[in-house]
Amino acid sequence: SYVKQLSPRTRIVGVEPKGAPAMHQSLQAREVVRLAQIDKFVDGAAVHRVGDLTFRICQTVLDDMCLVPEGKVCTTILQLYNEDAIVVEPAGALTIAALDQYRDQIRGKRVVCVVSGGNNDIMRMEEIKERSLLYEGLKVYFLIRFPQRAGALKEFLVHVLGPRDDIAHFEYTKKNNRDQGPALVGIELEHKEDYAALIERMQAYKVDYEVVNDKPMLFHLLV
């Protein structure tokens, strides 16, 4: 590459979304591989198979290959927009989203991030915010089996929900002739450290619950 010819000591790092690591796996295998499944959220950088020429170039010039979780990409998109008024698409935020992984290595050095791609659909912002909250541990979905009696939900709000917790999603259908009825409850936290206290209160009041975030198949079915 031109950069390597001009400055051989400059390290070049490639970045890919964690859900579509086609180049990363190809470099590890030392040959182009095809991924059966990928997360297409970072659509500008998510491919099942990288090009042969691109692979040969990356194999020659890259010093490292970094994978960035899609949730981290979403957090970076929101930070760039809110703090710097910069609008980027998910692929455009990849390089900046990767900086945290190299925090110690790049301290005191000159770093250039290629921010390429501003084709962001405003209709995706809700999904971007949702993915960011989930990644940062600020939103948790539960399946909660509430007793089917008057006041059960009020007791949960009063005794279990913390003063800084907010119910962002509630989906419940009353079932006749049953002692309990399941509800899908999404709770937003002000700080991720509030999660442990929330779980402690749920256990103390013997709430029958199941964390949906930890179960990908159930999560994608319900959320």
Q: Residue 94: helix, strand or coil by DSSP?
A: helix
Average pLDDT over residues 35-46: 95
pLDDT computed for residue 119 by the predictor:
83
3-state DSSP assignment of residue 142: strand
Same domain for 24 and 93? yes
Give the pLDDT confidence of 51-91 residue by residue, as tens digits.
999 999 999 999 999 999 999 999 999 999 999 999 999 99
Q: How far apart are CA 95 and CA 111, in angstroms?
A: 11
The reply to whether 48 and 116 lie within a common domain is: yes
CATH classification at residue 148:
3.30.70.260
Do 86 and 155 lie in a common domain? Answer: no
Number of domains in the chain: 2
Tokens representing 13 are 């790092």
**121 shares its domain with 193:** no
Per-residue pLDDT tens over the stretch 174-222: 777 678 888 999 999 999 999 999 999 999 999 999 999 988 888 888 8
Residue pLDDT, tens place only, 91-106: 999 999 999 999 999 9
Domain CATH for 80: 3.40.50.1100
**The dihedral sign for the CA sequence 213, 216, 217, 222:** positive
Q: What is the pLDDT of residue 171?
A: 92
